[in-house]
């Protein structure tokens, strides 16, 4: 049985506000190019200490609900020991404990096996760093 591995780096600009960015189309384009008809795993990884990867419904308010929930759980105030950057930035460094910096997803026949309403998303609450990288890696 032969195996294949390929990786690709996405450069994402999130802007100056908290954001949930849908990466599903980027993931599908990557798989179309490097894994046509193959079965395997897609790993999505954000190499930043203040961002995460989530699988959730987007476009129907769930992305805004996630950001609101994170604001409630991790308020941007002066309670954080990590104090560089904008006020409350320490919360951004706690985010990856709740929204991990990676997700590994099944690929069947070259396509992501997501549920009907699931999307792969970058979650970024760090207003100080609008430039993010996301690594897509396929192992099949």
CA dist 12 → 38, 81, 101 (Å)? 27, 28, 15
DSSP H or E segment with residue 119: strand 119-124
Q: Which domains does the chain have, with CATH numbers?
A: 5-139 (2.60.120.460)
pLDDT at 1: 53
pLDDT of 111 above 80: yes
Query: DSSP characters for 6-23?
Result: EEEEEEEE--SS-EEEE-
pLDDT level of residue 122 (50, 70, 90 thresholds): very high
Distance CA 18, CA 71 (A): 10
Q: Give burial (CB, 10 Å; 0-12/13-18/19+) of 57.
A: middle
Burial class (CB in 10 A: 0-12, 13-18, 19+), 13: exposed
Average pLDDT over residues 69-74: 96
Tokens of 2: 């032969």
pLDDT tens column, 82-108: 878 888 889 999 999 999 999 999 999
pLDDT at 36: 96
């Amino acid at each position: 049985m032969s195996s294949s591995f390929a990786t690709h780096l996405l450069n994402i600009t999130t802007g100056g506000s908290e954001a949930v960015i849908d990466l599903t189309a980027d993931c599908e384009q990557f798989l179309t190019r490097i894994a046509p008809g193959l079965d395997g795993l897609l790993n999505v990884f954000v190499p930043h200490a203040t961002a995460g990867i989530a699988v959730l419904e987007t476009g129907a308010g769930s992305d805004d609900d996630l950001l609101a929930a994170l604001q409630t759980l991790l308020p941007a105030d002066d309670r954080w020991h990590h104090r560089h950057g904008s006020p409350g930035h320490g919360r951004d460094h706690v985010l990856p404990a709740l929204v991990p910096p990676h997700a590994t997803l099944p690929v069947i026949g070259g396509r992501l096996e997501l549920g009907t309403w699931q999307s792969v998303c970058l979650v970024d609450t760090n207003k100080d760093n609008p430039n993010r990288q996301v690594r897509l890696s396929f192992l099949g």
